[in-house]
Structure 1
Amino acid sequence: MSKTSLNLIAILVFAMTFSVLLGPWLQISPYLPAIATAIVLGFTTLDTFTWQGQGGNLIIDWLASTSPEYRARIVRHEAGHFLVATLLEIPISGYSLSAWSALQEGHPGRGGVRFTDRELASQLQKGILSSQLFHRYGTIWMAGIAAEVLVYGNASGGAEDREKLGITLTQLGNSGLNYAQQERYFILQARTLLQSNWAAYEALVTAMEKRESVAVCQQIIQQHQSPSSG
């Protein structure tokens, strides 16, 4: 079962507990929580086995998107990925800032920056990964977290990015202790690149808020890029 479906069930359990405790005072019918439970459990089951969790992603994303801060964080987070990928010369095929826009573009999921990562997939399939390519992708995966920390002082997103790094390290036979070290290292590398190209980052955030194309975003980065990064 997907993490999103588990989140929905957790919300359901909380709502059920709340309704049972306050039902008599609020005059809530005891049948209402039971019906709601059946509906939500039916939806999560259908979502997990038929839609691969996409329905839950859309609901959670829609609820969260009502917050202006959440929307701003998403853009800042994804701009971090986009800028660092461009600086490290990893091809970008597209980006989306919500689960709904990703679905409309034919890419089910929570949205984000999409890379042309055939080389990465090919090497991992063989059970190997060059240190150069691992360094590039590790830095890119942690760039969203680094961007949030620089802007807000903390990161609320990045769970999927950490998962990608963890899966890759596991495939390469690295230990959990090494994972923590690698994560800190890549966050530091991403942070350095972002700070060195802060004007490009801010301009990119503005462009992504306007949903500019990948080509336009990359042109904007080139216009504002630090000479030492070129």
Structure 2
Amino acid sequence: MLRTIIRTPTGNIVSVQKQSVRSLMTSLPSADRARSTALGSIRGTGGSSTTLDIANLEEFQFDDSTTSGHDALETQRKIRKYLRIIKYELPKLKKFAEPFQPPSKTQILRFRTSTYIGEPNHPAAPKVVLTVEVKSLPLTNPELHKFLLLVGSRYDPVENQVKMSCEKFQDRSQNFKWLSDTLDNLINEAKKEPEAVSDVPLDLRHAAKNIKPKLRFPKNWNRPVKSI
């Protein structure tokens, strides 16, 4: 046992008993005692060399691969991992396969989303794009004209379809709902007094870059036909 004399700020002297280091080591569990012994051997004492000194390292016998070699082996492990998944796991998905059914005439809306593999929180993942053909909308000619005036540059005269997108919300389902509600509101608004804007022409300047004019070769540039 060790005895330590401590002087308090008030001037009193207090005697404290402490266990010796040897007694503490013997009281430790075997695993902790072995760990302490190993740490002590690594730290060393004084200026003597330790087992981690570079002078005590064994000479490289060129019996191991280089860093690039280990990287190549790791790549092969990953490839084999996915090959095993393809061979043993993918066939299990056959029971979930369903025959393809083309959309019916009443299913006129087409939604497109993008999924980025390995990036579940990609900023463009919630984006939803809605496409609908103009001829499939339940509107008369005056109502359709007003509808196209309302959608503006979202109308593509080349493909004769309307395209809208939404990425306001982090949840993709909310973007689906917003596009569906917006299209319903546009259709309902187009049915209100469509004759009032029947004389307003459509502005298709936004589609001018997509409309390629048909160039015709002037007839006077043709080679003359030789008479036989």
Structure having the higher Rg: 2
**TM above 0.5:** no
Could you say which structure has the higher helix fraction? 1
TM interval, short-chain normalised: under 0.3
Could you say which structure has the higher strand fraction? 2
Higher RCO (Cα < 8 Å, 6 or more apart): 1
